[in-house]
Amino acid sequence: MQKVNYAGDTFEQLLCQSLSETELLAGVAALLDQDPCFLRGHLEMLWNARKKNHWPLYNELLNSALASTQKLYRDGQLRQEIVPHWTPMDFENLQEILQLGLRSKAVPFWKKVSLFRRLRTLSRTRALKAPIETREQKYMAFQRTVDVRDIVAEVNAIPPYWWAVQTRRQQTLDHHKHSQSIAVRVRAMHDAQYAPVDGIHESEEVAFSKQFPKINALVLDLAQELDLALGRVVLVRLSPHSQVYRHYDDEEYLKGRDRYHLVLICGDENILESGDNRFVVKPGELWFFDNKVMHRACNLSSAPRIHIIFDGYPLEKLKLFPAELKTGVMV
């Protein structure tokens, strides 16, 4: 469970390839594509360029970073829909980038006025945001190691074209555009509604997921072990040398539910990042993963990465029919 610095490592790899400045900037742009909230990546690249005294590149990167910060504001205020999902690290990264812009001689005065206003708005927003207790700042938690050999064999037997059947996720969500998924269990909709969420929505097998008896049996066992009302279950394949861009999940369905990742197949550089926690994760590891704060995933290896991702509502929060819910079936 090694901590990593993904952006800095990638920047070093790009530099070591002796690329021209134009090619390097193109590589950086690709790395940060559609990822304005990934401010840590901008910072690490700026630090590397400064360390190497590459000032033309530093100024280009700073302009790119400042342009990304502008996307986080609306009508002079930090976009309110993202604030609840930010961790202290996100606020600190934004503050540092704005301060770098204020100190830079390459940034014109009129831009610095705008940066100062953004920085002042940021300070006000941070002051209003409730402090996060230390115990709540662990956004990833290792659960245990699972024997996944039989599961991997079942996954490897999936016909390749199945990964191209369910494409809505990667086609409608830009941050998932490098991934493919196969639904194993989906929400079972019922008439009854239960507070404090929009219904328990216990899960049921998708028709063709009955081809995965070992996967279904395993997630049901894990849900019972973790004391969860099992929700959606999906197999997710992340392409080599790609990432799920930094984002947060705020669907109504997810309120009160926990997210878990079980690693099945991956190379040596399989990275999960949630909040300010980053880990290299290995096959067989089961992780609690907070998807309600800013998070992302990276596959820096040349092999595809496949996880089982599942949601569950902790039964300790429920007073209604806990015995029935443990199995994911309500009577």
Judge if 104 and 150 occupy the same domain: no
Structural domain includes residue 331: no
The C-alpha atoms of residue 317 and residue 324 are separated, in whole angstroms, by 15
Domain-located, residue 1 = no
159 and 119, same structural domain?
no
pLDDT at residue 192 in the model: 45
Give the count of domains, the chain.
2
Q: Per-residue DSSP letters for 181-242?
A: EEEEEEE---S---TTTT----EEE-GGGGG-HHHHHHHHHHHHHHTEEEEEEEEEEE-TTE
Does 30 share its domain with 106?
A: yes
Answer whether 309's CB lies under 8 Å from 260's CB: yes
Domain-terminating residue out of 105, 128, 151: 128
Q: Is 263 inside a domain boundary? A: yes
Q: Is residue 302 located within the same domain as residue 197?
A: yes
Question: Per the domain annotation, does 156 fall within a domain?
Answer: yes
234 within some domain: yes
CATH of the domain at 275: 2.60.120.330
DSSP three-state, residue 118: helix
Strands 228-238 and 179-187 come out as antiparallel
Question: Per the structure block, which two tokens stand in for 157?
Answer: 């037997």
Would residue 133 count as lying in a domain? no
Residue 112: pLDDT band by 50, 70, 90 thresholds? very high
| Residue at which a domain ends, from 99, 128, 157 | 128
Do 124 and 179 fall into the same domain?
no
User: Which carries the bigger pLDDT value, residue 48 or residue 260?
Assistant: 260
Is the pLDDT score of 30 beyond 80?
A: no
Same domain, 231 and 311: yes
Please give the Cα distance from 313 to 297 (Å, whole number).
Answer: 23
Is 4's pLDDT higher than 70? no
Least confident interval from 21-30, 178-187, 289-298, 316-325: 316-325
Residues 233, 99 share a domain: no
- Kindly report whether the peptide bond that precedes residue 159 is cis, defined as omega within 30 degrees of 0: no
Asked if 256 contacts 197 with a C-beta cutoff of 8 angstroms, the reply is yes
- Residues 171 and 122 grouped into a single domain: no
Q: Where a domain ends, among 82, 110, 128?
A: 128
Range of the domain at 211: 138-326
Q: How far apart are the first and last CA of the chain?
A: 41
Q: What is the mean pLDDT of residues 24-34?
A: 62
Can you say how many angstroms the Cα of residue 199 is from the centroid of all Cα atoms in its chain?
A: 25
pLDDT for residue 95: 95
| Pair (218, 299) in one structural domain | yes
Q: How far is CA 317 from CA 13, 98, 132, 211, 229, in A?
A: 47, 41, 21, 33, 10
Are residues 293 and 303 in contact, defined by beta-carbon separation less than 8 angstroms? no
Which distant-in-sequence residues (6+ apart) come within 8 Å of 102 by Cβ? 112, 115, 116, 119
Enclosing H/E stretch for 264: strand 258-265
Q: Write down the pTM of the prediction.
A: 0.77
Mark whether 188 and 117 lie in a shared domain.
no
The structure tokens listed for 227 are 């004391």
pLDDT digits (tens, 9 = 90+) for 218-272: 999 999 999 998 889 999 999 998 888 888 898 877 888 999 999 999 998 899 9
* 209 vs 160, higher pLDDT: 160
In whole angstroms, what is the distance from residue 41 CA to residue 171 CA? 25
Residues 266 and 118 in one domain: no
What is the pLDDT, as a whole number, of residue 23?
67
Same domain, 69 and 196: no
Burial status of residue 222 (CB atoms within 10 A of its CB: 0-12, 13-18, 19 or more): buried
**What would the pLDDT profile of 170-206 be if each residue is shown by its tens digit?**
777 777 888 999 999 887 665 444 334 444 456 777 7
Q: Is residue 281 part of a domain?
A: yes
The answer to whether residue 73 sits within a structural domain is yes
Q: Quick one: what percent of the chain has pLDDT higher than 70?
A: 78
Residue 218: count other Cβ atoms within 10 Å of its Cβ: 21
56-102: pLDDT as tens digits = 888 988 988 898 899 899 998 999 888 888 888 889 999 999 999 99
> Does the structure show a pLDDT above 70 at 319?
no
